[in-house]
């Protein structure tokens, strides 16, 4: 009974894992990169590199100036939105949407990035997605309908959860072998690497997979909400009470009581810095001012928000200021998943744990193929399944880092005046990935792995150089000016290049002694 239970669980772990491992690798990879979403965006937008760290003491002044600018450039807009600079995004983002024309659900939206102190437009602002590309790729995939993509991601996550739990069950020596990594032992080493990368970050893996499902819970399990609410609109109104708009009065707004609202907010929120200011229907007497706080390190995803009457400055409603138990639980889980609360140390810890996840998936996938290949008899030809898995492994594990490097090259090298430039960067990403994947179908032996490792090493090592040649600033100047985010990006690129170089050398060496297949390489495969 016991034996057959373990055998069943092993079977489940193997097949559930194998079926979705490449998609999961993509999701984990993109998710790990998204922990540095704003940092990548900053790197991708050289126009914002020289903005100094924003001091929250200037917030009131920035908001007042932004409103003046809105009154000048978009007096008839339906709503104005100010995204104030944060520790991670130094620029000021102003957005406004026009009144929808007949037959349209939403009006046209405009946005501009500005210097938060002078409110000047940033010169040479380039059209790029930056870190947002990876963020969207993580759950919306690409080139497909977002809802379909989310369903696919949902099922992959569900499979991941099953694989994780069955993995814990079949790993009998989970604590005994906690620190065990036996190198140069062929398959044994791969299994060790798989175990180590799963076990060291096990709380993270389970948390991220489970909370990942929770982020999509209203799509996955809509029934409870459907029971309670008549339609989506009523649910939405209760979840986001500040989105409800009062009917227009048709009377013009006399004066915007912004200062009164801000004073009230600062007094009652304990001087919490603001994250966002939204003014709805700024021309009408029914106008409202919404102030969203920066939640900082609180384990809470939706920011506390205050809504004021724009004419009188009176407080109308608050949201998320005091949370119910359920809201706390839900918000806490989403906050843990997105890691928006994380300050640099924790952000790096998140990143390391994410990499461990990538290694876990990659080693699992590689191990399946290695095991089957080992079972082959001397003259036996590998079957279609094995070949397919090997190609997919190479195409995904080595293709994604290469494509990511290409995406960053495109950011630096594509001319800034190109039409639909942001989409072309994404196109470069997918073209390079497709090239690696097609090449992997043709050949996926050790030589191919070595070649792709070399290509990756070269690509990542070249990235700081190309960046240095195309924009102002380089590794040394970042260090001198204490631009740690940019310095970290370039240093990480070099680190990745070194890892790939080590991998290529290991693969080269182990070719001489075929008895000891590469073992460390899987560590380097991680990004």
Among the candidate windows 135-143, 201-209, 499-507, 508-516, which touches other proteins by CB under 8 A?
Answer: 201-209
Q: Which residue has the tokens 């990499």?
A: 355
- Asked if 346 is part of the footprint of other proteins (rule: CB under 8 A), the reply reads yes
By the 8 A CB rule, do 150 and 139 touch?
Answer: yes
Cα 293 from Cα 489, distance rounded (Å): 29
Q: How far is the CB of 295 from other proteins (least distance, A)?
A: 11
**Other Cβ atoms closer than 10 A to 185:** 14
Among the candidate windows 62-70, 311-319, 342-350, 407-415, which touches other proteins by CB under 8 A?
Answer: 342-350
In the bound state with other proteins, the residue whose beta carbon lies nearer, of 342 and 466, is 342
Cα-flanking dihedrals φ and ψ of residue 516, to 5°?
-115, 90
In the bound state with other proteins, the residue whose beta carbon lies nearer, of 81 and 519, is 519
Length of the chain, please? 527
Among the candidate windows 80-88, 304-312, 351-359, 412-420, which touches other proteins by CB under 8 A?
Answer: 351-359
Give 272's contacts (C-beta < 8 A, 6+ positions apart). 293, 294, 296, 304
Contacts with other proteins by CB under 8 A: the residue count is 28
- Per CB under 8 A, the list member of 356, 398, 437, 463 interacting with other proteins is 356
- Asked if 304 is part of the footprint of other proteins (rule: CB under 8 A), the reply reads no
- Per CB under 8 A, the list member of 93, 214, 352, 465 interacting with other proteins is 352
> What's the CA angle centered on 367, arms 162 and 433, to 5 degrees?
90
- Per CB under 8 A, the list member of 220, 341, 414, 435 interacting with other proteins is 341
- Per CB under 8 A, the list member of 23, 353, 394, 410 interacting with other proteins is 353
- Asked if 199 is part of the footprint of other proteins (rule: CB under 8 A), the reply reads yes
- Per CB under 8 A, the list member of 131, 273, 332, 399 interacting with other proteins is 332
- Please compute Rg for the chain using Cα positions: 26
> What's the CA angle centered on 72, arms 66 and 76, to 5 degrees?
105
Q: How far is the CB of 477 from other proteins (least distance, A)?
A: 28
- Per CB under 8 A, the list member of 350, 368, 408, 429 interacting with other proteins is 350
- Asked if 345 is part of the footprint of other proteins (rule: CB under 8 A), the reply reads yes
- Asked if 299 is part of the footprint of other proteins (rule: CB under 8 A), the reply reads yes
Cα 436 from Cα 224, distance rounded (Å): 45
- Asked if 196 is part of the footprint of other proteins (rule: CB under 8 A), the reply reads yes
In the bound state with other proteins, the residue whose beta carbon lies nearer, of 178 and 243, is 178
Q: How far is the CB of 175 from other proteins (least distance, A)?
A: 8
In the bound state with other proteins, the residue whose beta carbon lies nearer, of 225 and 349, is 349
DSSP string of 23-71? HHHHHHHHHHHHTTHHHHHHHH-GGGTTPPPPPGGGHHHHHHHHHHHHH
3-state secondary structure of 341: coil
Of the candidates 283, 241, 277, the residue with the CA atom closest to the CA atom of residue 262? 277
Cα 226 from Cα 228, distance rounded (Å): 5
- Asked if 333 is part of the footprint of other proteins (rule: CB under 8 A), the reply reads no
Q: How far is the CB of 216 from other proteins (least distance, A)?
A: 21
- The 245-284 contact track toward other proteins, x by CB under 8 A, reads ----------------------------------------
How far CA 13 is from CA of 188, 384, 487, in Å, comes to: 18, 22, 41
Cα 361 from Cα 17, distance rounded (Å): 8
DSSP assignment, residue 280?
E
- Number of H helices and number of E strands within the chain? 20, 7
Instruction: Report residue 107 as tokens.
Output: 């009006």
Chain residues 161-180 in contact with other proteins, contact rule CB under 8 A: 176, 178-180
What is the per-residue burial (b if ≥16 Cβ within 10 Å, else e) of 351-367? bbbbbbbbbbbbbbbbb
In the complex, the residues that contact other proteins under the rule CB under 8 A are 176, 178-183, 196, 199-201, 203-204, 207, 297-299, 332, 336, 341-342, 345-346, 349-350, 352-353, 356
């Amino acid at each position: 009974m016991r034996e057959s239970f373990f055998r069943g669980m092993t079977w489940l772990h193997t097949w559930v894992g194998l079926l979705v491992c490449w998609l999961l690798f993509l999701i984990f990879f993109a998710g790990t990169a998204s922990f540095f979403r704003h940092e990548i965006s900053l790197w991708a937008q050289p126009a914002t590199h020289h903005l100094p760290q924003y001091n929250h003491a200037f917030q009131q002044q920035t908001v007042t100036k932004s409103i003046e600018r809105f009154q000048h450039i978009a007096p008839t807009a339906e709503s104005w939105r100010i995204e104030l600079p944060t520790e991670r995004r130094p620029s000021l983002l102003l957005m406004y949407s026009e009144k929808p024309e007949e037959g349209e659900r939403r009006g046209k939206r405009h946005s501009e990035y500005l210097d938060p102190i002078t409110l000047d437009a940033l010169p040479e602002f380039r059209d790029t997605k930056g870190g947002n590309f990876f963020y969207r790729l993580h759950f919306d995939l690409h080139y497909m309908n977002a809802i379909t993509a989310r369903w696919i991601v949902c099922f992959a996550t569900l499979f991941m959860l099953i694989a994780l739990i069955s993995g814990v069950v079949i790993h009998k020596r989970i604590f005994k072998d906690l620190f065990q990594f036996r190198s140069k032992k062929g398959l044994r080493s791969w299994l060790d690497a798989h175990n180590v990368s799963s076990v060291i970050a096990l709380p993270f893996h389970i948390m991220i997979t489970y909370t990942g499902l929770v982020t999509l819970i209203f799509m996955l399990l809509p029934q409870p909400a459907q029971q309670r609410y008549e339609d989506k609109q009523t649910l939405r109104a209760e979840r986001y009470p500040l989105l409800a708009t009062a009917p227009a009065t048709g009377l013009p707004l006399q004066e915007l009581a912004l200062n009164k609202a801000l004073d009230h907010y600062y007094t009652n929120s304990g001087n919490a810095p603001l994250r966002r200011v939204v003014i709805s229907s700024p021309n009408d007497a029914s106008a409202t001012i919404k102030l969203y706080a920066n939640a900082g390190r609180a384990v809470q995803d939706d920011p506390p928000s205050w809504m004021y009457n724009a004419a009188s400055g009176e407080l109308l409603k608050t949201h998320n200021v005091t949370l119910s138990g359920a809201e706390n639980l839900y918000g806490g889980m989403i906050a843990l998943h997105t890691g928006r609360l994380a300050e640099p140390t924790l952000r790096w810890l998140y990143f390391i744990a994410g990499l461990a996840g990538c290694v876990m998936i990659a080693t699992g996938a590689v191990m399946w193929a290695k095991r089957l290949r080992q079972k082959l008899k001397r003259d036996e030809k590998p079957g279609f399944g094995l070949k397919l898995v090997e190609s997919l492994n190479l195409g995904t594990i080595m293709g994604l880092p290469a494509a990511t490097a290409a995406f960053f090259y495109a950011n630096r090298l594509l001319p800034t005046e190109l039409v639909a430039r942001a989409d072309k960067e994404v196109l470069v990403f997918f073209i390079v990935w497709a090239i690696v994947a097609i090449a992997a179908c043709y050949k996926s032996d050790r030589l191919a792995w070595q070649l792709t490792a070399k290509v990756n090493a070269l690509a990542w090592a070249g990235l700081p150089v190309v960046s240095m040649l195309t924009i102002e600033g380089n590794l040394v100047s970042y260090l001198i000016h204490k631009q740690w985010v940019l310095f970290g990006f370039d240093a990480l690129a070099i680190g990745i290049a070194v890892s790939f170089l080590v991998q290529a050398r290991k693969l080269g060496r182990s070719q001489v002694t075929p008895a000891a297949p590469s073992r460390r390489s899987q560590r380097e495969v991680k990004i």
